[in-house]
Every structure is written in structure tokens, then in C-alpha cells.
Chains A and B, each alone.
Chain A
């Protein structure tokens, strides 16, 4: 199963680094779509077309956190994993993203491939299990169980 990922960052280099690092984790085969800010991300977004979103915070036109709030307000998006990838690392920002806006995981720049893999493994395994129809909610934890319980 190819994981359909939207990678959003106003830095072309960061988008490239995120995509290459994701491939190096070998957690999944990815099909990438890029966007350089929240506005472009919204124009490209379709809840049926994506499995996972990687979102920077500080971008022109529309910030990543505003984009996340918009996405979560749309129907059919609860199954989509949203991962913040950002230089913002104050506790307030982390809590805002995870507790208020609806992001599932938070990765601070700079990151290593190992850290990316460690944080994403349970999420990606959950997505793959759900797609394969092997979901057993009572035995899962983290992202997947939270998703199913909503």
C-alpha cells in the first residue's frame, strides 16, 4: 500500500529533506504531493486522496496551525494523520497543535531519520492496519485507538 502524503513547507529544501528522510525510514512506500503554504495545501487537499499530512508551522498566506484547524473541521478527515514538522518548540505551541488543533504528532526541526521513524512507526502501522482491515481497536494504542474511538 502506498501512503499518500501531503508535505507542506515554504522551504523547498525542507520539503525535499522531509520526503527523503521519510523514504529512508522505510516505514512505507510514499506517494508525495507538495505544497508551499496552507493556502496551496487547502487547494490540493481532498480527504479521500491523502493518508498523512506533514505540516510546517510558520508559512506565508496561511500558517500550518490554521491549516490543521481547517482540515479537522472538514468531514472525513479524522482518519488522516497530521504531523507537525516545525522549528516551533515551546510547550504552548506543542500543546496547541496536539490538544487544540488536532495534530497527531509533533516533530521539531532539526530531526534525524531515526527520530522520524520512531515517532511515525505506530502511526503508519495504524494506517496500514486500518487499510488492510485488520483493525482490532482494543489491542491498539496511540493514534489508531484515538482515531477509532472518535
Chain B
């Protein structure tokens, strides 16, 4: 008898990681006209000055957390591509854009996961902005980080995966 709601560890999330990574490359290709390329990790994922869009996908069995981290220059460059006009990094509209980008990536990811038989609902996005941001994920979750390079600048994606233990029965 397991602990209802406990996170199951040791799962293989290769396919799920691929779905979320493809969602990022597809979204940025559509919006910005470029295909970002995964690249080797070059830092610990902290942002000297940047902005992070955070969104979750919640299903009956799985939960995913997705963080999209954009350094200052990349954020302004991508926001200009997305909105069609310049948005200063400190502007409230920048948070709006990054939240919307996270939303679109998550929607694309949800559709890809759906094709794998994994159902998940989107949360509302939240956004964090500042200097020396270090976005931490719970250690007990399966985690992944992918760095990307692009014509608009470098950025990263952090993922966390959890599977609920549904074997418990009263």
C-alpha cells in the first residue's frame, strides 16, 4: 500500500522531455522565425539579469513544471519579435510577453503529450524578473535543463517531472 499522492521516482521521462523541447523549438520558430538550437550547458542556469516564465501542466497521473529563462538582451530581442514593437526589459509588458510565451510553449507541449496519451491541463503562467535569479526545483523530482542558442540570444529551459502514485486504494 503506497502513500497516496506521493511522487514516484525512477521514471524515464525521455519522451516527455523531447515533447517539451520540441514545443520550445516549434514555438520560437513560429514566433521569431528562427529555430533555437540546444547547446551544451555553459552555466549553472542562474540569470545575471533576466526573466523567467513559469508554468505547470497537471494531469491525473503526471505533473510537469516548465521554466523558460531569458537573459535581459534575449528577452528584449524575442519580445520585439513576438509583439512587433520594442518592449523595455523593465516594462510590465515584458512580464506579459514572457508569460504568454510560456503559455504558448505549454499549450504546444500539452498537445504533443496528448498524442502520447498523457493528459495534462495548463496552469496560469507566472513570471519572475530580477538579478542573480536562481530558479530551484525540488530535489525529489526528475529534473532536466536544456540550454539553447539562437539568433535572438541564448536562453534555457528547466523541466521537472513528477508521477503520482495511484496504486493506493482504501
* Chain B residue with Cβ nearest A12: B96
Distance from A114 Cβ to chain B, minimum over Cβ atoms (Å): 13
Q: Are the C-beta atoms of A88 and B107 separated by less than 8 Å?
A: yes
How far apart are the CA atoms of A110 and B23 in the complex, in Å? 12
| 8 Å CB contact of A58 from B82, B84, B97, B124 | B124
How far apart are the CA atoms of A2 and B151 in the complex, in Å? 41
A46 is an interface residue with CB less than 8 A from chain B: no
User: CB-CB < 8 A to B30: which residues of A?
Assistant: 110
User: CB-CB < 8 A to B110: which residues of A?
Assistant: 88-90
B83 is an interface residue with CB less than 8 A from chain A: yes
A141 is an interface residue with CB less than 8 A from chain B: no
Q: Are the C-beta atoms of A11 and B99 separated by less than 8 Å?
A: yes
Q: Are the C-beta atoms of A60 and B124 separated by less than 8 Å?
A: yes
User: B143-168 toward A: CB 8 Å interface, digit per residue (1/0)?
Assistant: 00000000000000000000000000
B134 is an interface residue with CB less than 8 A from chain A: no
A26 is an interface residue with CB less than 8 A from chain B: no
Distance from B145 Cβ to chain A, minimum over Cβ atoms (Å): 23
Q: Are the C-beta atoms of B107 and A86 separated by less than 8 Å?
A: yes
Q: Tell me the residues in window 106-137 of chain B with beta carbons closer than 8 Å to chain A beta carbons.
A: 106-108, 110-111, 114, 122, 124
Query: Using a Cβ–Cβ cut-off of 8 Å, how many residues does chain B contribute to the interface with A?
Result: 22
User: CB-CB < 8 A to B8: which residues of A?
Assistant: none
Q: Are the C-beta atoms of B111 and A20 separated by less than 8 Å?
A: no
B104 is an interface residue with CB less than 8 A from chain A: yes
Q: Are the C-beta atoms of A12 and B93 separated by less than 8 Å?
A: yes
Distance from B45 Cβ to chain A, minimum over Cβ atoms (Å): 25
A73 is an interface residue with CB less than 8 A from chain B: no
A118 is an interface residue with CB less than 8 A from chain B: no
Given A11-B100, A14-B100, A110-B107 contact (CB < 8 Å)? no
Q: Are the C-beta atoms of A87 and B107 separated by less than 8 Å?
A: yes
| 8 Å CB contact of A90 from B100, B103, B114 | B114
A92 is an interface residue with CB less than 8 A from chain B: yes
User: CB-CB < 8 A to A16: which residues of B?
Assistant: 83
What are 29 contact pairs spanning A and B, CB under 8 A? Answer: A10-B124, A13-B82, A13-B83, A13-B87, A13-B93, A13-B96, A13-B100, A14-B100, A16-B83, A17-B83, A20-B84, A58-B103, A58-B122, A58-B124, A86-B107, A87-B103, A87-B104, A87-B106, A87-B107, A87-B108, A87-B122, A88-B110, A88-B122, A89-B110, A92-B114, A109-B100, A109-B104, A110-B27, A110-B31
Please name 17 further chain A to chain B contacts, defined as beta carbons within 8 Å, in addition to the given A14-B96, A58-B122, A60-B124, sorted by A numbering.
A10-B124, A11-B96, A11-B100, A13-B82, A13-B87, A14-B100, A17-B84, A58-B124, A87-B103, A87-B104, A87-B106, A87-B108, A89-B110, A90-B114, A109-B100, A109-B104, A109-B107
